[in-house]
Amino acid sequence: MNDSLTTRAKRIYEWLDKRLLISPLIAKTQRTINFALPSTLTRQNRSRVFWFIYPYYYAGAITAFLAILQGITGLLLAFNYVPSAVGDPGTPTQAYLSVQNIMRSVPLGALIRGMHQWGANLLVAAVAVHAFWAFFRSPYRVGRELTWFLGVFSLGLALAYSFSGYLLPWDQLGYWAATISIQIMRAIPLLGNSLAQILLGGTGLSATTLTRIYFYHVSLLPVVALVLVGAHMLLVILQGVSEPEEAWKTKSEKQVAPLFGPFFPQQIAPVLIVSLVTLGIVLLLSAYAVQFPGDPANKFLTPRFIVPEWYFLWAYGLLKWVGWIYDIVHFAPPAAVFGVDLLSAKVVGILVAAVLFLVLLLLPIIDRGKEVRALRRPLKTAIGVWAIGFLATLTLYALNEILSADLSIPVDTMNLILGSIVIAVPLIAAAPVYLVLRQHVAKGVS
């Protein structure tokens, strides 16, 4: 009766431990983590912890926090959403009405849906920053190849999540974005049609498609996410965070002196602070910028200015841009090469996107350079800058119709301007990076 709270908690733990035999496991885990980053060695570097100095390290932590937030808000939304797209084109379906219901009638429904929507957007942004940062810093060169592979797959997972979630309200934008994506999928040489049949239950969108997409979004992908992201984060915890290059200077002195404190509590504390700030931003955005679904899906009417979500714009722009190049050089792709439209703009677009993904995935195998510092890798860093420029300008190109209408410039002129930008700007950005860094490296050697 007079036991203090801690004694009581201890007793409960002992009762559980007797049955589950978990204490050796916990002790071992603690040892492993502490062994990776011994606090005795970091004490002398205490002034140089994580916080303030290395803000770019937070992209991963923010991603993890947002993923948890997506899980919670998604769970709540699932209680009120009805995955049924049965109904006449242009009339509100059960799916559409249930989203309306969440927005108007369900207590705090609009806030929860807003958090889910904004959380998804911010998550993709955080993942992109995280991925690009990892690209430049090459942590995969020093024993983190598996973390990299898992990370690239998680990037694909985030996109699969967004794609499937975008369709769920069954409104015009989601419907047509999905239609275009499915038709692009069908254009994959040889496999396309079967893939569309298996993944989406048909070669066009139907009520069956929504059921399958819903199943992926709430059931299949979460399991995949737990495994992929869980393994990714476990590796980060076990191996310790890949440290900034400043830390390397001390390593020549035969002393392992990690810059950052141990995972718990020194590293996790600022992560929690950043997570709270992120939560605040998500709450603010979802309270003041709630987006209702558009008109109900109508398969007989494509809306004007149809664009996908911002993170797929580059792919959309790529399709348009390849078509524009073909027009400029008066190249009419042959109808069939080996039985498929191998050279049509959409297949070329698919192949370019596939190659980009494969290069990203296999980077630890392709990039054999010993140097990890971005400033000492002229070619690789220049390629990274070019890739960012290419994606950004393609995103701009995807908006050609909207820009030409807003600025009242003829579409053909607009295409010429934007198309040239896509070719020139990434090169103009990458060339000086390469030249300057090469000089920098040459100086360093001599």
Partner 1 sequence: MSMSEKDAPESGKKARHSASRRQFIQMMVALGFLGTIASFLSLLTSLLPSSGGGQQQGEVDNTFRYGPEKGTWYADKSGSEVKVEDFDQIGKGAGVLWRGSIPAILIRIDESKLRGATANSGLIAFSSACTHLCCIATWHLDRPNEAVLFCRCHDGIFDPYDIVKDIMPNGVEYRGARVIGGPPPRAAPIIPVEIRDGKVTGVPSNLETYAYCG
Instruction: Rule CB under 8 A: choose which of 7, 197, 219, 291 binds partner 1.
Output: 197
The span of 101-109, 190-198, 256-264, 426-434 binding partner 1 (CB under 8 A) equals: 190-198
Among 118, 205, 120, which residue's Cα sits nearest to residue 170?
205
> Least CB distance from residue 197 to partner 1, whole Å?
5
Site residues for partner 1, 113-132, by CB under 8 A, read none
65 binds partner 1 (CB under 8 A): no
222 binds partner 1 (CB under 8 A): no
The span of 52-60, 63-71, 322-330, 432-440 binding partner 1 (CB under 8 A) equals: 322-330
DSSP 245-283: GGGHHHHTTT----SS--IIIIIHHHHHHHHHHHHHHHH
Instruction: Rule CB under 8 A: choose which of 327, 376, 409, 441 binds partner 1.
Output: 327
DSSP 48-113: G-HHHH-GGGHHHHHHHHHHHHHHHHHHHHHTT------S-TTSPPHHHHHHHHHHHTSTTHHHHH
How many chain residues interact with partner 1 (CB under 8 A)? 40
How far is the C-alpha of 430 from the C-alpha of 102, rounded, in Å? 47
Please say which residue, 23 or 193, places its beta carbon nearer to partner 1.
193
Give the SS3 label for residue 292.
Answer: coil
How far is the C-alpha of 407 from the C-alpha of 370, rounded, in Å? 49
> Least CB distance from residue 97 to partner 1, whole Å?
19
How far CA 188 is from CA of 182, 215, 232, 372, 438, in Å, comes to 10, 24, 30, 36, 40
The span of 2-10, 226-234, 272-280, 303-311 binding partner 1 (CB under 8 A) equals: 303-311
Q: How many CA atoms lie within 13 A of 157 on its CB side?
A: 22
Please say which residue, 197 or 420, places its beta carbon nearer to partner 1.
197
> Least CB distance from residue 1 to partner 1, whole Å?
57
How far is the C-alpha of 413 from the C-alpha of 417, rounded, in Å? 6
The span of 2-10, 75-83, 173-181, 249-257 binding partner 1 (CB under 8 A) equals: 173-181
90 binds partner 1 (CB under 8 A): yes
93 binds partner 1 (CB under 8 A): no
Question: For the window 396-435, what string marks contact with partner 1 as x by the rule CB under 8 A?
Answer: -----x---------x------------------------
Residue with the two structure tokens 């700007």: 425
Helix (H) or strand (E) holding 317: helix 313-328
Binding site for partner 1 (CB under 8 A): 89-90, 176, 179-180, 182-184, 186, 196-198, 201-204, 206, 298-306, 319-320, 322-323, 326-327, 333, 335, 341, 344-346, 401, 411
